Amino acid sequence: MKHTIAVIVENKSGVLTRIAGLFSRRSFNIDSLSVGATDNPDYSRMTITVHGDRDVLEQVIKQLSKLINVIRVSELGASESVERELAIIKVSADKDSRSEIMQIVNIFRAKIIDVSHRSMIIEVTGDEEKVDAIVQLLRQFGIKEMARTGKVSMVRGARVVKA
Amino acid sequence: MSKMTGAQAVLECLKREGVDVVFGLPGGVLLPLYDAIYQSDIRHILVRHEQGAAHMADGYARATGKVGVCIATSGPGATNLVTGIANAYMDSVPMVAITGQVNTWLIGKDAFQEADITGITLPITKHNYLLRSATDITRVFREAFYIASTGRPGPVLIDLPRDVTVDEVEFSWPEVELSGYHPSVKPHEMQIKKAARALMDSSRPVIYVGGGVRYAGAHRELFELATKINAPVTTTLMGIGCFPEDHPLSLGMLGMHGTKYANYAIQESDLIVAIGARFDDRVTGKISSFAPRAKIVHIDVDPAEVGKNVRVDIPVVGDAKNALHGLLKEVSPKARSEWNEKTETWKKDYPLRYIPDMNVIKPQFVIEKLCEIAPDAIITTEVGQNQMWAAQFFVHKDPSKFISSGGLGTMGYGFPAAIGAKMGRPECDVIDVAGDGSFLMNSQELATAVVNDIPVKVAVLNNGCLGMVRQWQELFFEKRYSATILGRTSPDFVKLAEAYGAVGLRATKPSEVEPVIRAALATDRPVVMDFIVSPAEKVSPMVPAGATLSEILELEWCDVAQSCHLEKIYAEGRKEVLGQEEF
């Protein structure tokens, strides 16, 4: 089972190491991790996807909460949250394939952010499945390079996860 | 306030935190700090190896309940502390370790004696700091002492670059503000009520006590609760002494080398109330068949311990003292029951025992004599057979008077820990129960004990081998004694003690044991007692690794043949070495 958790941490050097170290030491499996600033520059927000049963998730949350630099840990249930990933993908594209690629880009409401004679860079955002799907479709043209962020996620409605 | 150097600010912080003694060894980057120590009235105990400093701080902390402080220089000094810090972390000991670091502008450049000690100690500290500015010193030291000593205690490391100790700073004393640290010491009332209800409903309860009761200073409340409801009490190695072992309700220690009756009681119980204990594998045996009929109440100050190793029916997150206070209010007195009869019958039927011998000193006999002659002494231990016999055959009554490396199992811990304990409580006799293997791992601290006039006593149970591992080889590896035979002459512990200026005494016959102990306690100097004990003696009973607690074995007693066999091996090993020299 996959679980998504939001972790609010102090924006200090070494905090990422503490979290990554905790995961490896306790044999927790991270599927994805993304870090970025919050509206308050003193704190960063991490979105971590882990897999395991409820007991593992409970341990992950409790062990993270023990770290002094961790301010708050909150599980984000899949059904009650919105989640997004971003990927930029460089595909082979010549004059024969270019229009077909553009059709796929349109269907996925993705963007073309760079074009050259032999390639294009496509930017896509969406949940994991959507990004997976466009990657799958673009494979036939030849993916030359891809960079993908981890997932970021937020609970719908009024509830907030803040320091 | 006045301006001072970073180093002076560090000393001022230590003073304000109530530190009266620190254990350490200087080095290049620590020159400014040691200059400030020279001018301060805090006592500094110079060790001979930094591992000793960490264990002394640890022993001091366990004996006094205060935060122990150790100091080491950058690079190798800092890495030498690592075992001691890991030891304190596993046993939740409040400690502040101060390490020197190269100048801030050299960090990351592989400078002379540079080591990334905050990186290295990340998984073995409760928290750690690399100071980058002298203005952070007071805040960081206050936080470090607060974190080390509150909630579930643990070691905190502060890495102190040289320039930070030289820079001038305006001294201030800010309040601790940590938005990410709120130890949950107050248990939920509802959970206490549920736990009390379970205790009232139970007909076969066992209270299972760990180090958490000791750190919370809750042994009196534990005694009140157990005697009020007539519930038997078993302790872990860390919980030893939290309940007086001469009391009818005491089941002694449980687990791998626990008593048969404690293990039987756990397996038969219908309710286990775990207080400040963490269901370690040495305690539970095979986890899937641990206490199969019991409901489990787990009281712990660390929420992450609850549900980590076993399923828990009633979790109670909070400090043992608060929880016990709460329980005492909720439960009403219970009369003695069939369950008490049953556990007491087990105690009668399956006592801890050994076969005394007229000619050979049995190690258990030495422990019994220590207990008889010095019942109020602080006992520290090394790790292995000596540790288990000290746990089993000394009658413990005071949690602060049994000091042993539980979680990490660090050989070489007991002797420096004894020095630390004696510094904290000079009025007590302090005896390190050691083996001939483990004592040598930190015997260089004899110099520390002699030079600083710290009269600790070491009782070496000299069996010529790494006994616990040898025991396992005898039982599970068809007596192939791979690398566990030390022999009878390595080294002469009496001469070793004398070489350091300590007193060395030896007993080779049972009749000499008592006079040696009395002589050791009568002198006010450090003493090493060398007890030549029967080599084949095994720690019994024993739950084999991975077995269920009820499968506890009484190991064979009559080991004369095995002893002769081992003595022969010792003699032959000696001959072989000498023979090769001649060749």
Residue from A66, A67, A162 to probe the interface with B (highest B Cβ count within 10 Å) = A66
Kindly report the CA angle at B551 between B548 and B552, in degrees rounded to 5? 110
Distance, in Å, from the CA atom of A39 to the CA atom of B368, rounded to the nearest integer, reads 66
Q: What are φ and ψ of residue B477, in 5° steps?
A: -130, 35
B543, part of any domain: no
Nearest partner of B10 among B67, B78, B22, B50, judged by Cα: B22
Distance, in Å, from the CA atom of B118 to the CA atom of B110, rounded to the nearest integer, reads 15
Three-state secondary structure call for residue B442: coil
Q: Would an 8 Å CB–CB cutoff place A55 in contact with chain B?
A: yes
B421-446 burial: b if 16+ Cβ within 10 Å, else e:
bbbbbeebbbbbbbbbbbbbbbbbbb
pLDDT tens across B501-553, in order?
Answer: 999 999 999 999 999 999 999 999 999 999 999 998 999 999 998 999 999 99
Distance, in Å, from the CA atom of B133 to the CA atom of B153, rounded to the nearest integer, reads 27
| Candidates A17, A58, A68; nearest CB to B127 | A68
| Per-residue confidence (pLDDT) for residue B563, from 0 to 100 | 82
Chain B residues with beta carbon closer than 8 angstroms to that of A21:
122-123
Chain A residues with beta carbon closer than 8 angstroms to that of B159:
none
Distance, in Å, from the CA atom of A149 to the CA atom of A78, rounded to the nearest integer, reads 18
A122, part of any domain: yes
Tell me, yes or no, whether A6 and A72 share the same domain.
yes
Nearest partner of B530 among B541, B521, B517, B540, judged by Cα: B517
Tell me, yes or no, whether B46 and B160 share the same domain.
yes
pLDDT tens across B77-98, in order?
Answer: 999 999 999 999 999 999 999 9
B542, part of any domain: no
Type of residue found at A55: D
Interchain pair B308, A59: CB under 8 A: yes
| Per-residue confidence (pLDDT) for residue A78, from 0 to 100 | 87
Distance from CA of B289 to the nearest CA of A (A): 19
Could you list the residue range(s) of the whole structural domain that residue B513 is in?
363-536+553-582
List strands edge to edge, sheet with B314-317: B250-253, B233-235, B205-209, B271-275, B295-300, B314-317
pLDDT for B573 beyond 90: no
Distances (CA, A) of A66 to A47, A71, B97, B102: 18, 9, 20, 30
Q: Which ipTM value was assigned to this complex?
A: 0.92
pLDDT tens across B197-244, in order?
Answer: 999 999 999 999 999 999 999 999 999 999 999 999 999 999 999 999
Asked if the peptide bond before residue B375 counts as cis, ω within 30 degrees of 0, the response is: no
pLDDT for B443 beyond 50: yes
Distance from CA of B127 to the nearest CA of A (A): 7
Residue B19 β-bridge partners: none
Chain A residues with beta carbon closer than 8 angstroms to that of B178:
68
Say which CATH number the domain at B121 has: 3.40.50.970
Distance, in Å, from the CA atom of B417 to the CA atom of B445, rounded to the nearest integer, reads 10
Interchain pair B118, A58: CB under 8 A: no
Lowest-confidence region among A78-82, B413-417, B488-492: B488-492
Interchain pair B147, A68: CB under 8 A: yes
Q: Give A 108-137 residues with CB within 8 A of chain B.
A: none
pLDDT tens across B113-160, in order?
Answer: 999 999 999 999 999 999 999 999 999 999 999 999 999 999 999 999
Three-state secondary structure call for residue A73: strand
- pLDDT class of B572 with cuts at 50, 70, 90: confident
With contact defined as beta carbons under 8 Å apart, do B234 and B222 qualify?
Answer: no
Structure tokens at B545: 């690794």
Q: Would an 8 Å CB–CB cutoff place A16 in contact with chain B?
A: no
* Beta pairing class for A81-92 and A143-148: antiparallel
Q: Would an 8 Å CB–CB cutoff place B176 in contact with chain A?
A: no
Q: Which helix (H) or strand (E) holds B387?
A: helix B385-393
Cα atoms found within 13 Å of the Cα of residue B523, Cβ hemisphere only:
21
Domain boundary among A76, A101, A127: A76
Report the domain count for chain A.
2
Chain B residues with beta carbon closer than 8 angstroms to that of A58:
307
Q: Give residue for tokens 């746990």.
A: B391
A163, part of any domain: no
Q: What is the mean pLDDT of chain A?
A: 95
Domain boundary among B324, B349, B374: B349
With contact defined as beta carbons under 8 Å apart, do B96 and B160 qualify?
Answer: no
- pLDDT class of B557 with cuts at 50, 70, 90: low
| B473 dihedral zone (left: phi>0; alpha: psi -120 to 50; beta) | alpha
Query: Which residues have a Cβ under 8 Å from the Cβ of B566 and sit 6 or more positions away?
Result: B464, B465, B485, B535, B536
Interchain pair B122, A21: CB under 8 A: yes
Interchain pair B180, A67: CB under 8 A: yes
Q: What is the mean pLDDT of chain B?
A: 95
Interchain pair B180, A68: CB under 8 A: yes
Distance from CA of B117 to the nearest CA of A (A): 13
| Per-residue confidence (pLDDT) for residue A163, from 0 to 100 | 83
Tell me, yes or no, whether B381 and B473 share the same domain.
yes
A67, part of any domain: yes
Could you list the residue range(s) of the whole structural domain that residue A148 is in?
83-152
- pLDDT class of B571 with cuts at 50, 70, 90: confident
With contact defined as beta carbons under 8 Å apart, do A76 and A8 qualify?
Answer: no
| Candidates B119, B130, B180; nearest CB to A69 | B180
Distance from CA of A148 to the nearest CA of B (A): 29
Q: Would an 8 Å CB–CB cutoff place A38 in contact with chain B?
A: no
Distance from CA of A56 to the nearest CA of B (A): 9
Structure tokens at B355: 């076969």
Distance, in Å, from the CA atom of B583 to the CA atom of B577, rounded to the nearest integer, reads 10
Q: Which helix (H) or strand (E) holds B22?
A: strand B21-24
Tell me, yes or no, whether B245 and B287 share the same domain.
yes
Distance from CA of B300 to the nearest CA of A (A): 13
* Beta pairing class for B295-300 and B314-317: parallel
Tell me, yes or no, whether B163 and B266 share the same domain.
no
Tell me, yes or no, whether B111 and B236 share the same domain.
no
pLDDT for B300 beyond 90: yes
Interchain pair B180, A10: CB under 8 A: yes
Tell me, yes or no, whether A88 and A140 share the same domain.
yes
Tell me, yes or no, whether B340 and B246 share the same domain.
yes
| Per-residue confidence (pLDDT) for residue B311, from 0 to 100 | 93
Q: Would an 8 Å CB–CB cutoff place B307 in contact with chain A?
A: yes
Distance, in Å, from the CA atom of B413 to the CA atom of B445, rounded to the nearest integer, reads 11
Q: Which helix (H) or strand (E) holds A122?
A: strand A119-126
Q: Would an 8 Å CB–CB cutoff place A68 in contact with chain B?
A: yes
Three-state secondary structure call for residue B408: coil
With contact defined as beta carbons under 8 Å apart, do B335 and B537 qualify?
Answer: no
Tell me, yes or no, whether B127 and B208 share the same domain.
no
Considering only CA atoms, give the Rg of chain A.
19
| Per-residue confidence (pLDDT) for residue B561, from 0 to 100 | 78
Say which CATH number the domain at A10 has: 3.30.70.260
Distance, in Å, from the CA atom of B315 to the CA atom of B309, rounded to the nearest integer, reads 13
CA B112 to chain centre: 34
Distance, in Å, from the CA atom of B35 to the CA atom of B25, rounded to the nearest integer, reads 13
Query: Which residues have a Cβ under 8 Å from the Cβ of B583 and sit 6 or more positions away?
Result: none
**DSSP state letters, A17-29:** HHHHHHHHHTTPE
Tell me, yes or no, whether A57 and A98 share the same domain.
no
Q: Would an 8 Å CB–CB cutoff place A163 in contact with chain B?
A: yes
pLDDT for B574 beyond 80: no
- pLDDT class of B583 with cuts at 50, 70, 90: very low
Distance, in Å, from the CA atom of A134 to the CA atom of A143, rounded to the nearest integer, reads 11
Query: Which residues have a Cβ under 8 Å from the Cβ of A1 and sit 6 or more positions away?
Result: A51, A52, A53, A54, A57
Question: Other C-beta atoms within 10 Å of B487: how many?
Answer: 17
Distance, in Å, from the CA atom of B375 to the CA atom of A139, rounded to the nearest integer, reads 78
More confident residue, B563 or B12: B12
pLDDT tens across B159-200, in order?
Answer: 999 999 999 999 999 999 999 999 988 999 999 999 999 999
B326, part of any domain: yes
Mean per-residue pLDDT, B361-366: 97
With contact defined as beta carbons under 8 Å apart, do A18 and B122 qualify?
Answer: yes
Chain A residues with beta carbon closer than 8 angstroms to that of B118:
14
| Per-residue confidence (pLDDT) for residue B65, from 0 to 100 | 97
With contact defined as beta carbons under 8 Å apart, do B238 and B88 qualify?
Answer: no
Domain boundary among B316, B349, B382: B349
| Per-residue confidence (pLDDT) for residue B576, from 0 to 100 | 67
B17, part of any domain: yes
Q: Give residue for tokens 């594209």.
A: A93
| Per-residue confidence (pLDDT) for residue B581, from 0 to 100 | 46
Q: Would an 8 Å CB–CB cutoff place A11 in contact with chain B?
A: no
Chain A residues with beta carbon closer than 8 angstroms to that of B127:
67-68
B123, part of any domain: yes
Q: Is A55 exposed, middle or buried (0-12, 13-18, 19+ CB in 10 A)?
A: exposed
Strands (E), B116-183: 127-130, 155-161, 168-170
B496-525 burial: b if 16+ Cβ within 10 Å, else e:
bbeebebbbbbbbebeebbebbeebbeeeb
Residue of chain A nearest B125, judged by CA positions: A67
With contact defined as beta carbons under 8 Å apart, do B543 and B256 qualify?
Answer: yes
Q: Would an 8 Å CB–CB cutoff place A59 in contact with chain B?
A: yes
| Per-residue confidence (pLDDT) for residue B582, from 0 to 100 | 42
A158, part of any domain: no
| Per-residue confidence (pLDDT) for residue A80, from 0 to 100 | 93
pLDDT for B245 beyond 80: yes
With contact defined as beta carbons under 8 Å apart, do B276 and B214 qualify?
Answer: yes
Query: Which residues have a Cβ under 8 Å from the Cβ of B400 and sit 6 or more positions away?
Result: B62, B63, B64, B65, B214, B241, B378
